[in-house]
Structure 1
Amino acid sequence: MIKGGFHAFQIFWKPSKPAIFFLLAILLGALGISLFFAVSMGSVQISLSDTYRIIFSKMGAPLDIGDISKSTLAIVWNMRLPRVFLGLIVGAGLSMCGSVMQSTVNNPIAEPYVLGISAGATFGATLSIILGFKVMIGLGSFLGALVATVAVLVIASMQGRMTTSSLILSGTVVNALFLAFSNFIISIGANADSVMSIKFWTMGSLAGISWAHLTLPAVVVGIAFLFSLPNTVFLMP
């Protein structure tokens, strides 16, 4: 069950169930408002009212959008909205993974950067790009993260029982090592194209996203979410 993030939250506040539902309602409302702002802002500024009309008219609402140009319609519906939704899906997946990680290692402050996992993934992707294996970047990143995870767990448990302090300290060491390795191979073997590719993979981008790209991430995150709630999701009574 996903509980790590909530336990970390309880360190500062122990809310009742009505307070939790109220907080979730506020956060969902803020998410909806931020969605409209994200779609309306960009190199082409589009008013919030036009954004509202375009989105809800496409969803079937009886709103008049005859005064809005076709280019504006395309920008909102075909370019910006898919990016915003994919960012939402990816963010939900990352937050879920972070909570599962906290629950797995029984540490409410555990996260990929603290534990060196992100640094390991960066090293794997960087090494794949430098060596010219660009079709293997995803696999290289995964293997780098896996090696970093194993290294942290091994180092943290060397003195016997793994504690919060040993886990964080081990993650700090592994994080520094993999970042140093990444910077070293960039300095000795990267050209301009490789540096741009490395920056793209480490920073990420939602450029060029269309509605067709949303199906797979949504399905994967949805299935992962269901599997992360074994005590609350039942297929049969």
Structure 2
Amino acid sequence: MTEVILSASVSSTVKMILWNLSSLIFQEFALREGVSISELEMLYSTLSLIQTVIHDAEERQSHEEAVKDWLKSLGDAACDADDVLDELLVRALRWKEDKGMMKKVRQFSSPSKLVFRFKIGHKIKEVMRRLDVIAKYTENFNFKMYVVSPRRRVERTPTDSYILIDSKVYGREEDRDKIVKMLTSSDDKDEISVIPIVGMGGLGKTTIAQLAYRDDRVARCFNLQMWVCVSDDLM
């Protein structure tokens, strides 16, 4: 069971990274910030190659310890890559929200932009180094390569993943309260805020998001609330 959860988490993380890298707003902001597009393209290429062998690795990890270790190393590196891209994507979303305001444009031209560019560039290089090593190790395992079919559109209702449950959820009050506090904070009201909830599949991320969404304190703070679902193709 642990192996299944691990492989599912790795596969989902890699898919999400590839989707983020292909996002137009992500590419537009990366170019504006001076982030190396060639490095992002190399990251996409490396992960796309790795994605073709994940299925075979999943099948073999239960009886090959070396493959299991390889998959774990990939999972660790993929999570770090996802964190780096999340950092860039959150900044991109804020930039898109503010790009029409001259004051904000001046801020993006400040020394803080150079610091951000240096730090994010260093993080991307480090992630690329680790993934390159992991990709080279695929030659040692003679993995079967599977062609990843293009994502198909999934027809679903807008609220499929939001279940209005009446049953009690125990043991998540502290997590819920932390999120509610961030949502209702009076700081930076003029700027868009993104609060990520990360973790392996099955840990209850959607449940804790629902608890915060349905909390009376949140309802009193916002005139409008909207639950947006992400298609299964991206998960």
TM-score with structure 1 setting the length? 0.29
TM-score with structure 2 setting the length? 0.29
User: Of the two structures, which has the highest relative contact order with CA contacts closer than 8 Å and spacing of 6 or more?
Assistant: 2
Q: Which has the larger radius of gyration?
A: 1
